[in-house]
Chain A
Amino acid sequence: GQNIDQPTEMTATEGAIVQINCTYQTSGFNGLFWYQQHAGEAPTFLSYNVLDGLEEKGRFSSFLSRSKGYSYLLLKELQMKDSASYLCAVLDSNYQLIWGAGTKLIIKP
């Protein structure tokens, strides 16, 4: 079956760095995506990796290792507005997104 695992909840301090991990087992791979979802709102696209390595976008970076079925989202210089759930998703061989349950990130002052 298809499976995406990520921690349920993480806590970090404002101004610090946090890494959210995601491991996956899917039927085929056409890219890994990270979405941000604030409480009560819709998910919004953050980043996309299809090749191994690090993609940097401002304070956010995403890493992919296809051989290990592993990705992480790195958030630097944390701000209170980064408090949200972060969803990992894989585009499978049918070009359907398979979603993890999400990691709720709590930022403390």
Chain B
Amino acid sequence: TAGITQAPTSQILAAGRSMTLRCTQDMRHNAMYWYRQDLGLGLRLIHYSNTAGTTGKGEVPDGYSVSRANTDDFPLTLASAVPSQTSVYFCASSDVGSGEQFFGPGTRLTVL
């Protein structure tokens, strides 16, 4: 069982470049989330989606965009990367309204 996968595992990106982080789940969860995790700050929600076709902004959405064309995929795009976006990015999924979330392995992004 794959669960939830993310790609790439890690990436070094030049400032100003764009990048899409991929996330796919096979658990048929309606809700999906993107978090960033920085040392000492814990997990912060970037964007979320409660069902295919809808998305919402989390705590730190600026500089990021998402789409939810179908149930399984929830890509996160950085249009023009900045060094402050250096972080570990986790994708997660759950049943809508549930706090039991399942996480992907994460993408470690460094913006130089």
Contacts and interface: CB of A to CB of B under 8 A. Distances in A.
Whether A and B are associated in the same complex: the answer reads yes
Nearest to B45: A96
Interface stretch (A11-19, A40-48, A52-60): A40-48
B99 A97 contact: yes
B43 interface: yes
Interface residues of A, number: 20
Interface in B57-71: 58
Interface string A1-13: 0000000100000
Which 4 pairs, one residue from A and one from B, show the smallest C-beta to C-beta distance?
A: A42-B103, A101-B42, A91-B99, A99-B43
Contact of A43 (B40, B45, B103): B103
B48 interface: yes
19 contacts: A8-B40, A30-B97, A31-B99, A41-B106, A42-B103, A42-B104, A43-B43, A45-B102, A48-B99, A87-B43, A89-B43, A89-B99, A96-B45, A96-B48, A97-B45, A97-B99, A100-B42, A101-B41, A102-B42
Interface string A84-97: 00010101000111
A63 interface: no
